[in-house]
Amino acid sequence: MPANVSMSQAHADAASASSRLSASYGPTCSTPSDRFTTLPDEETLATTVVALEEHGFSVEVADDLDAARDAVLARIPEGSSVMTNTSVTLDETGIAKAINMRAAQTGLPRHRG
C-alpha cells in the first residue's frame, strides 16, 4: 500500500471495489451461494482484475486448475519455508500437497497451522 494512503482509505477503496464487483454478478448469479459456484463472465473477470491491480495486486488469470496451481508454485522461491495453515482452498487445489511434497524432497520443515 502506498505510504500516502491511510488504512481507512484502503478499506473504503476495497469496499467500493467490492460493491462494484457484487453489483456486476447479474442474473446468472442470483443467490449468494451462486457467487461461489458459478464462474464469472469475461466482463466481471476483467473488472476484478482491474480493481485488484488498482490496489497494488499482481494478477494472473489461469485457464484451469493445473495452470493456476503451477502459477502459484512458480512464485514460491526454491528453498522457501511455506506455511499452508488449514486452507480448504490450498487443500482442494492440490497446492498444499505440492508444497508439502516439495518440502519433503528438500528436507525443509513443513508448517501447518
* 8-27: pLDDT as tens digits: 555 555 555 555 544 444 44
* H helices present in 1-113, as ranges: 7-23, 34-37, 42-54, 65-74, 88-93, 95-106
Cell numbers at 82, concatenated: 511455506
Q: Is the dihedral of CA 88, 92, 63, 21 positive or negative?
A: negative
Given a cut of 90, is residue 3 above it in pLDDT? no
List, for residues 62-92, the tens digit of each pLDDT value. Answer: 999 999 999 999 998 887 888 877 888 889 9
**Domain map of the chain by residue range?**
7-54, 65-106
55 C-beta neighbours (distance < 10 Å), count: 13
Query: For 42-65, what is each residue's pLDDT tens digit?
Result: 999 999 999 999 999 999 999 999
